[in-house]
A and B are shown apart, each in its own frame.
Chain A
Amino acid sequence: MPDIDVRLERVTKQFADTVAVDDLSLDIEEGEFFSMLGPSGCGKTTTLRMIGGFEEPSIGTVYLGGRDVTDLPPYKRDVNTVFQSYALFPHLDVFENVAFGLRRKKVPKDEITARVNEALHLVEMTGFGKRKPSQMSGGQQQRVALARALVNHPKVLLLDEPLGALDLKLRKQMQLELKRIQQEVGITFIYVTHDQEEAMTMSDRLAVMRYGKIEQIGPPEDVYETPATEFVASFLGASNLLDGELGRQTDGNTAVQLAAGSSVTVPTDRVPHDLYDTQVKVGVRPEKITIEADRGDPAPGFNHVTGLMRMATYIGVSHQYKVEGPGAKELTVYVQNLGAAPAPSPGEKVRLVWHPEHTFVVKPSAPLTQEEEVE
């Protein structure tokens, strides 16, 4: 088993009247690309700042490489940060910005030159050494900020929404680069983002946070395919959620009685163990559903609900349908555009079919507040 690089043990951070991080424990392995994801104000930045040493926990312990660093100031910790605003020193040129950390460690001059050039090469900014930060584009500044951190060979690199200020195209490109660089240098990345797609494509593991707590932690596929709470299900990707009540268990399957009448089945091992109530939400991802005309008998062994086609949107690679399902719930379906069957048109009665394996059961969460939805 790989070594634990960063460990937070029951960490709480309280500001004047808000609990920013609430009794949070977390282990991050060496060399891992770990993302923290969650709505605005859920405590991502605060968590990162406690690892970096810019914020002291009110309660709890922070370990880096097995050593308790809770009381250590940032300049004594073997971590480096890429700030959201880049925070490049405006009075120094690119070379001196990158060399800043090495100069503090009194690294010999020749070695500084070599390492700075190597770092600039890594982020593909060779030849920019003499530029001032103000003379570069946002993406270039971002690369320099990355080089400035990486050149110190830290144990852990902290990145707080490093791509937040870039436009979409540059963002996509930088995501790939970041991933490439992380694999190349092999150090632990702790990455904070609002963007669920970004977190899913880049991370080895991710944590979805809310109200200063971790709602779920795991590899992106697990969290996506088997969300643990309603909040995770709706925050990470789109999902269709219906109210239901847990029913009988028969040979590995559990029946869920939908509030609207019919019932669906879920493999029992996909039902969370810590449900305190039989009132649950049952869900399925939009791309797992197929649409049929509501005729004849449904295929046995599949879950299905009937609904009314409301809206069909052509997206190019796929069709997106909005269907009014049981209990007037709006359900979303994505269908890959294979160009074969004619698309159902609005007003038609349709049957939505999916496999029990693709069904998940979550406990209901408080709905997203307006504040949280703002990106």
Chain B
Amino acid sequence: MSESAVRAEEVAGAVATSILPRKPQRRWTRFILPTYTGAVMVYLVSPILVMILYGFNKTGGLKVSFKWQGFTLAWYRGLFDIPNLTQALKNSLFIATVSTLIATAIGTLVALALVRYRFRGRQVADMIMFMNIAAPEIVLGAALLSFFVTLGLPRGVLTIIIAHVMFNIAYVAVTVRARLSGFDTSLEEAAQDLGADPWTTFWKVTLPLIFPGILAGALLAFALSIDDFVITSFNAGPVSTFPLWVYAAARVGVPPQVFVMGTLIFTFGVSLAAINLLLQRRRVRPALAEASGAADDVS
């Protein structure tokens, strides 16, 4: 059949349907995928919703009741009414902040080294990072404990920080490396060409450009640190952290403040991630539009 014949038929078909609208087929199967997706979303979101909700539940006193008893802001007002919990949260925030800073600095440098330099043992370094991420936490926790015991290092905030830095480096390095692998090194050459020594080049060009990657890595590290239970429980000694305290309290009953703190930490993390995403969007969007525009020009 010639092309024009096909065209004609298409046109005829279009005319026909416009005169006699064909009844759209109401096949029930087209609901399967959306329903399924919806169900998965509910599954993923409900624990978070429950957490947020119970932060507003008007229960009496410390013991949580899982029955909805009305809305209250009492737990937000009395957020710090339980001194031990408050102390545990402070510990967690401190540990997460310090370990994130250290792990981010080290992890970023590791990523730079792995991407920029070909050196012996590069593959081994890759492998170690992978193992570090893949290894069961319980094994890492136990191993670290025996390590600290051997060294005679008393368990406490310091050992927790060391442990958290240990498991966070790999995550940061992997995240930053993803950002670096698309990095146009001619930008660094351009900086040097314009009179910037390597140090200035790093601060003025490299760092600002990979910063979103570093921030993403740091966020991940912070999130992993603040809710780590398994490794921390091995190396905490007498120190309590937020997850450790909640776990211990759960046997008797979780006070609603826990949900409030959980909600606040969650909100904080999500907004940081959202801001990071937005910043990256703003940077990438016009570039993409530009690229497609240029492609149009050529064609």
Contact = CB atoms under 8 A, between A and B. Distances in A.
Determine if chain A interacts with chain B.
yes
B208 A101 contact: no
B290 A81 contact: no
Interface stretch (A82-90, A122-130, A182-190): A82-90
A100 B290 contact: no
Interface stretch (B51-59, B89-97, B138-146, B184-192): B184-192
B192 A90 contact: no
Contacts of B194: 75, 80, 100-101, 104, 148-149, 152
A136 B200 CA distance: 27
Interface string A77-118: 001110101011111000000001100110000000000000
Contact of A104 (B184, B195, B297): B195
A132 interface: yes
Q: Which of B190, B197, B205, B286 has the most CB of A within 10 A?
A: B190
A80 B195 CA distance: 9
Given A75-B196, A90-B209, A85 B186 contact: yes
Nearest to A91: B208
Interface size, A (range): 20 to 34
B26 interface: no
Interface string B201-219: 0001100110000000000
B193 interface: yes
Contact of B192 (A74, A85, A135, A152): A74
A54 B188 CA distance: 11
B251 interface: no
A134 B290 contact: yes
Contacts of A81: 189-190, 193
Interface string B166-192: 000000000000000000101101111
Contacts of B298: 167
A138 interface: yes
Nearest to B283: A90
B131 to A, nearest CB: 32
A221 to B, nearest CB: 33
B287 interface: yes
B294 interface: yes
Interface size, B (range): 20 to 34
B189 A83 contact: yes
A247 B185 CA distance: 57
Contact of A132 (B197, B205, B286): B286
Given A83-B189, A83-B190, A134 B286 contact: yes
A71 to B, nearest CB: 15
A41 B252 CA distance: 75
A77 B111 CA distance: 30
A90 B190 CA distance: 12
A250 interface: no
B283 A87 contact: no
Interface in B269-284: 283
Interface of A: 52-54, 73-75, 79-81, 83, 85, 87-91, 100-101, 104-105, 132, 134-138, 148-149, 152, 167
Interface of B: 184, 186-187, 189-197, 200, 204-205, 208-209, 283, 286-287, 290, 293-294, 297-298
17 contacts: A54-B193, A74-B189, A74-B193, A75-B197, A81-B190, A81-B193, A87-B186, A90-B287, A104-B194, A104-B196, A105-B195, A132-B286, A134-B286, A135-B290, A136-B290, A137-B290, A138-B294
For the complex of A and B, the 4 pairs showing the least CB-CB separation, nearest first, are A101-B194, A104-B195, A87-B190, A134-B287
